[in-house]
Structure 1
């Protein structure tokens, strides 16, 4: 869970407190037989108790199960829990706007791991991470379609791609052919060489094709949104991870007739200067680098991985092996660079990269592919049957109809009752689609294909609801988790109203409770004391000098603490105030008649200065208000349970109780 509210967090703590006795692993008990108990006539199944007691248990195999006493104890706590949920329902808390909003938020989060989409996304995440363990170097030729290409145009492009594939396989140079044929503008510079890349750096069809080729192999034409690609994999090797370098850049003055030679001589001179032992890299960068973004920072660049920089720069960076190693000058389209290796790190763990990978997958074509696969699985699982004739008719008749006029046009054309599909045996008609469109706030940017877009959204919505209903009906783990959170929100709401807030805010009731139970709020005998624990024995005499023969006073305490904290803060630890002495580690050993004494306790010397003794007496309300509030809230909780046990008759099924005990000890 990622978006938990404060109430949910408190609920988790509350459950951990109420169900504290360990249990064995959760046993999948049988379905809907006799309930474990009824509360006010409402049945409670034994699976619910088994689930709650087993939640999060980490018992080692072979450890003893739950005793009868522990089981009865937990059953009693469970009944108290269900009584409170029952009362919350009776008060209508489960119908409040706040509850419905919070529960719906939880349900959205809780169902996600159980959905078909989640398992498909997980598969894509794992596949992408697996591919990230390797980098690929490839060249390609791109053949684009002409604007508004016809089917015949597309076939012409495909035939051309097949011809080029054949030439490459007959030992033609893909790089020479890229210069001649490729529609990728960069091919005139890089001859189709893309350098190294890894997963999620190319569009999905291109990536899939490249990762299915071995070094030296050539693909058949690969269709992407850009056109047809012919791909030749040149190399595959383990992913080196990330690298951080600093660099010096010398730009080439393209306007000067000898700009290239001048830049080459300048970078050679800089490189020679770097070889001198007295040279400081940062100074050279500051004085000579023509990269304004990094020159004042020692030339430092951010961490980067394969596929993030232009190929020549990247290959030079990853070829450096020792920290501090400097590369010879290399040329890129930006000019000449000298690189120094600052650090390297391997590919991060799946857990560290998971959210980053997920974000990239959900932003590219894989997300559309996942949604298509989800719908295909849902349609098969939930018996989706499209009325193809009626859908085709609606597509034709409603092609140019806007969202606002859709429902009226259906009526005018007598199409509202035309069936469009059945799902789990239920029939859906065109009017259902119109109702869905009226409720949705989604607006199409492109008016073309309005029917197909809305029909797809409507079918997806109904399929998703069918999957969620199936989860709630047939997935026991999800059903139990959903019930746990539903009841937990209700429990929190009731406890907040009847116990926590009441106990915290009602000061009159607090004082009344304090007065009735004043015997529980008593000071034992106390003494005004100043205790100095000596941590540095070389400072013992200095402490004695300040304390021996002096009467205890606030001025003395302040003087002592001010002096040592200023000069030697680690020499002593101090404790002071009116302290109950009978249970105190140091004062329980002190002679209360002596004003100054030295006591050895737990391996440390303590200097003790005593003042007035205070006999046992009641605590004032303000002195113990925090404890009173806690006790008063416990009293309110006990009173609530007592009243609920009278209000809602409890009947326990002995047979189901025994079955529950056995299930917990298997």
Structure 2
């Protein structure tokens, strides 16, 4: 997203690493009355040396100018009170909450879960399952458990498919084939049950947030690894009405069997533009990673590097896939960082939270009041199960329920927590003692984690640093959006005036309207050229040069820019029949119908580029205004010492 890209850019150039800060109170500059320390500037400069590709920005004076502009923008944002804006606060709190999760974890449990996830990533499971849906908060689960147990017994006797035909309704009872999956594809409890169930067996019923399941494991196989493949795709929908996708892919496949280069044909004919320019090469992928099971199965079915599939159809088009290489699962050390991130985002995080709470109990000074559960058991009435219970007026709301360090949590807070929780128990028949016990545990966990979160900036310097980076970056994004980006995009009169002033900068690239005949054999293209010169139509040329067994020639036609990868780089842009060109490891002749000139684009055609350029002009003028509004005082003697340090 635009906002996150912008903030990352800000962080890359102007972050401050407080963890490595040295004790240096020397002031380098003041922006109005705000002091900025020399050590701060040095940390920013040194930290980002490797990120700066422009050598001129490594010069202290040049970098100082960027740093001053950054500080001016921050001061302007605060002057406009953008840091008090409700939307800004919400976005910042959302990020803070997300970041906090990474610090509310217990390392030993995380390490165990990461190792387990790695082991499971090496095994693909093919399974089906039974699910009887159940509300996540429901405690009266015996009926659902017994229903799954009965279905499990029927499956053992009758078979999965027969029972599925009889009971699956897609609403409350599900019997589904899941195909192959591995770690992180299912919720953790389901994944664990599947990996613990032997092949050919069906598990006993188990609970997830969706209800009760039983999982039938049909197969376990070693991971198929990560495959790098290339493909040629002919889309099902074609702009050229004369192209029949299935026929075109068969023509290409014929040329492959005749010895034409896969990469050359992909560059010339594939409709997947993102891969065509690279000879059809795709990014590496694992089983279950693509949206097309058919494509994955075809790719992984190829036994050797260089093997090519027969044409096959998916929801996206007709394909031919080539195996480039197949890599087994990488070693644990290499995958560990990405696995840690996934574990913390996964349902496994509940286990990490539990471990973290236990660790915080040891870290903090906690005092408990022992009579609270008994008291709340006594005041909950039947109205609670109608979602209409209210705390009695007689409750001592300020009475301590427990205390964490210097913060007291009260009866009133817990009563409010119970009041909010009652909607989960609407029309349920659950003993009050169970409700209070569960609510107390949830309230304590949320309270101690919230206490950790609220104090994290004081307890963890790294967290404080990252949070400051995002706070400032988000503030600058809002400022730039308000002062520059929105103004530029919405100022139609200003945009048009800028366009009129600079319209010579906005031109179409030269384009050509052409028909091109392509073949791996030069003599075939020469024959095609002679027939084209005699004004023979494409279908007649194809019929003359191709046979049912041999696909010698393929035609391409349309309007292309001069730098299109399909066109020869040294193409002479002259109307008429061209010479024979060698390009993309094949031979081509073109019938150039028309050369479309490099006309100036209309305002609407150039609008995107005009907006970008207009934004740059507005920002330059705006920065000049900020330099006039705020005083900037730089202490030259301090700057000189910084230059000496950097050179040393």
Structure 1 residues 97 and 346, CA, compared in 2 at 3 Å: closer, same or farther?
same
Q: Superposed, which structure 2 residues align to 1:212-223 within 5 Å?
A: none
Residue 595 of structure 1: how far off its partner (Å): 6.4
1:503/1:632 contact within 8 Å kept: yes
Q: Deviations over 1:310-351 (max 9, x none)?
A: 99999xxxxxxxxxxxxxxxxxxxxxxxx9999556998876
Counterparts of 1:394 and 1:128, CA distance in 2? 40
Match of 2:6 among 11, 15, 20: 11
SS across alignment from 1:624: helix
Q: Deviations over 1:26-47 (max 9, x none)?
A: 9822368456654443455655
Structure 1 residues 457 and 577, CA, compared in 2 at 3 Å: closer, same or farther?
closer
Structure 1 residues 660 and 95, CA, compared in 2 at 3 Å: closer, same or farther?
farther
Partner of 1:642: 624
Counterparts of 2:634 and 2:553, CA distance in 1? 63
Counterparts of 2:540 and 2:28, CA distance in 1? 66
Q: Superposed, which structure 2 residues align to 1:496-515 within 5 Å?
A: 496-515=481-500
2:29/2:635 contact within 8 Å kept: yes
* Bigger shift: residues 637-646 or 396-405: 396-405
1:531/1:606 contact within 8 Å kept: no
Match of 2:501 among 503, 513, 516: 516
Counterparts of 2:218 and 2:407, CA distance in 1? 68
Counterparts of 1:608 and 1:658, CA distance in 2? 65
SS across alignment from 1:586: coil
Partner of 1:400: 378
Partner of 1:293: 161
Counterparts of 1:301 and 1:625, CA distance in 2? 48
2:515/2:591 contact within 8 Å kept: yes
Structure 1 residues 532 and 94, CA, compared in 2 at 3 Å: closer, same or farther?
same
Partner of 2:92: 103
* Bigger shift: residues 598-607 or 510-519: 598-607
Match of 2:110 among 99, 102, 122: 122
Number of equivalent positions: 448
Counterparts of 1:106 and 1:36, CA distance in 2? 32
Counterparts of 1:470 and 1:101, CA distance in 2? 19
Structure 1 residues 443 and 292, CA, compared in 2 at 3 Å: closer, same or farther?
closer
SS across alignment from 1:496: helix
SS across alignment from 2:433: coil
2:513/2:559 contact within 8 Å kept: yes
Q: Superposed, which structure 2 residues align to 1:206-245 within 5 Å?
A: none
Residue 107 of structure 1: how far off its partner (Å): 1.3
Counterparts of 2:562 and 2:121, CA distance in 1? 64
2:517/2:588 contact within 8 Å kept: yes
1:533/1:572 contact within 8 Å kept: yes
Per the normalisation by structure 2, the TM-score is 0.52
Match of 1:308 among 184, 189, 197: 197
Counterparts of 1:626 and 1:99, CA distance in 2? 27
Partner of 2:314: none
Residue 665 of structure 1: how far off its partner (Å): 9.2
Match of 1:586 among 570, 575, 580: 570
Match of 2:394 among 401, 404, 409: 409
Partner of 2:76: 87
Structure 1 residues 450 and 636, CA, compared in 2 at 3 Å: closer, same or farther?
same
Counterparts of 2:615 and 2:121, CA distance in 1? 57
Residue 13 of structure 1: how far off its partner (Å): 6.3
SS across alignment from 1:633: helix
Structure 1 residues 531 and 623, CA, compared in 2 at 3 Å: closer, same or farther?
farther
Counterparts of 2:119 and 2:588, CA distance in 1? 65
Q: Which runs of 5+ in 2 are unaligned?
A: 123-153, 165-176, 181-192, 204-216, 226-328
Residue 306 of structure 1: how far off its partner (Å): 6.5
Counterparts of 1:577 and 1:405, CA distance in 2? 72
Q: Superposed, which structure 2 residues align to 1:178-197 within 5 Å?
A: none
- Tell which structure's C-alpha radius of gyration is larger: 1
Partner of 1:629: 611
Structure 1 residues 371 and 10, CA, compared in 2 at 3 Å: closer, same or farther?
closer
1:530/1:576 contact within 8 Å kept: yes
Match of 1:113 among 92, 102, 112: 102
1:375/1:463 contact within 8 Å kept: yes
Q: Which runs of 5+ in 1 are unaligned?
A: 1-5, 135-248, 253-289, 315-338, 551-555
Q: Superposed, which structure 2 residues align to 1:187-586 within 5 Å?
A: 291=159, 293=161, 307-309=196-198, 367=351, 373-382=355-364, 384-386=365-367, 391-392=369-370, 394=372, 399-402=377-380, 406=391, 408-411=393-396, 418-419=399-400, 421-426=402-407, 430=411, 446-448=431-433, 457-521=442-506, 530=514, 532=516, 535-536=519-520, 537-548=522-533, 571=554, 586=570
SS across alignment from 1:448: helix
Residue 435 of structure 1: how far off its partner (Å): 6.4
Structure 1 residues 561 and 639, CA, compared in 2 at 3 Å: closer, same or farther?
farther
SS across alignment from 2:379: coil
Partner of 1:151: none
Residue 515 of structure 1: how far off its partner (Å): 0.9
Structure 1 residues 440 and 659, CA, compared in 2 at 3 Å: closer, same or farther?
farther
Q: Deviations over 1:99-130 (max 9, x none)?
A: 22222221121111112x34354044147569
Partner of 2:33: 41
SS across alignment from 2:579: strand
1:529/1:579 contact within 8 Å kept: no
Per the normalisation by structure 1, the TM-score is 0.50
Residue 478 of structure 1: how far off its partner (Å): 1.4
SS across alignment from 1:409: coil
Structure 1 residues 510 and 434, CA, compared in 2 at 3 Å: closer, same or farther?
same
Structure 1 residues 131 and 474, CA, compared in 2 at 3 Å: closer, same or farther?
same
Counterparts of 1:375 and 1:121, CA distance in 2? 12
Structure 1 residues 485 and 596, CA, compared in 2 at 3 Å: closer, same or farther?
same
Structure 1 residues 340 and 394, CA, compared in 2 at 3 Å: closer, same or farther?
closer
Partner of 1:256: none
Counterparts of 1:251 and 1:452, CA distance in 2? 39
